[in-house]
Amino acid sequence: MSSGGTPPGPPESRRIVLLRHAKADWPQVSDHERPLAERGRKDAPVAGRRLAETGIDFDLALCSTAVRTRETWKLAVHELPHRPKTVYEERLYEASLGDLLALLTETPDDVNDLLVIGHNPGMHALADALAGSTEGDALARMTRDGFPTSAFAVVSVTGPWKSVEHGVGKLLDYWTPHE
């Protein structure tokens, strides 16, 4: 019991949605500057509509600074009921699993639902690392399909962001645009 005689409330549940950018083109530019391909420009709004269907009201979106992730977000966000605060984060580009976990632990505690728009292999590795448990067949589908462009995973975690680490989450959903 706390000093006020009231038992503490249950640990706060949070959701992390990990969205891989849509299909990119391969023009003669640096990898960071690669734009979306035609298929990516079609798939990104579909991913946005599917994100809206989850009913998650994002408090914050962290987006890689790469052109393809920014274009994915620009097309997907128009499908959401409201635009969350967006931070373009350089550290998401070419981030390792450790980098991604460190970034999650820096999330402000007033954020309950976080969207991360990034790249593979990081998005897949992070979803897999966080998922200590799973609902339904989400993990089997993610394992079977990999983490193709425009795919996203929804993971719930409990407690403060600073405690996010391997195995603390529950994989709630996994979606690809070609399901």
| Residues involved in catalysis | 21, 94
- What's the chain's length in residues? 179
**3-state DSSP assignment of residue 127:** helix
Give the residue among 170, 175, 178, 168 at the shortest CA–CA distance from 141: 175
CA distance 74 to 34: 15
The radius of gyration of the chain's CA atoms, rounded to the nearest angstrom, is 16
Annotated binding site: 68
Q: Name the residue type at position 168.
A: V
Q: Name the residue type at position 101.
A: L
Annotated binding site for substrate: 68
CA distance 72 to 136: 28
Q: Name the residue type at position 178.
A: H
**3-state DSSP assignment of residue 29:** coil
Residue whose pair of structure tokens reads 């734009």 in the numeric block: 35
